Amino acid sequence: MPESLFSEVVPEPAEEVFTTLLEKPGLKIERIASHGHVSPAGFWYDQEQEEWVLLVQGEAVLQVDGQPDLRLKAGDHLRIPAHLRHRVASVSDDALWLAVHF
């Protein structure tokens, strides 16, 4: 049976909610509900694995090391190479991401 990406696990979460939708060796598909929470000041993601990320709903500003800010709207997707430092500078309350780590 299908599950819904839009169903909320927690009604009013105090932080971002990460839900693993599928996990296999070398592959993880993850749902991220931001609830307006940005990356902590000075925090950068620096990931071992490459990532493909889609903003399914909402808006966000992504900072990528050494690049101008990326303003994302629903439907925007991009590939983030392993160890490319990045952080979420701002994000709407309803922001919903799909991340594929591989």
| Cβ distance to its own copies smaller for residue 14 or 63 | 63
Q: How many residues lie near its own copies (CB under 8 A)? A: 29
Using CB under 8 A as the binding rule, the residues of this chain from 22 to 61 that contact its own copies are 22, 24, 26-27, 29, 52, 54-56
| Smallest separation (angstroms) from its own copies to the CB of 95 | 14
Nearest to 5 by CA among 16, 23, 19, 24: 19
Nearest to 69 by CA among 30, 95, 38, 34: 38
Please list, in sequence order, all residues whose beta carbon lies within 8 angstroms of the beta carbon of residue 90, skipping any fewer than 6 positions away.
38, 60, 61
**Which residue in the set 8, 10, 20, 21 belongs to the binding site for its own copies (CB under 8 A)?**
21
Q: Which residues bind its own copies (CB under 8 A)?
A: 1-7, 21-22, 24, 26-27, 29, 52, 54-56, 70, 72-79, 98, 100, 102
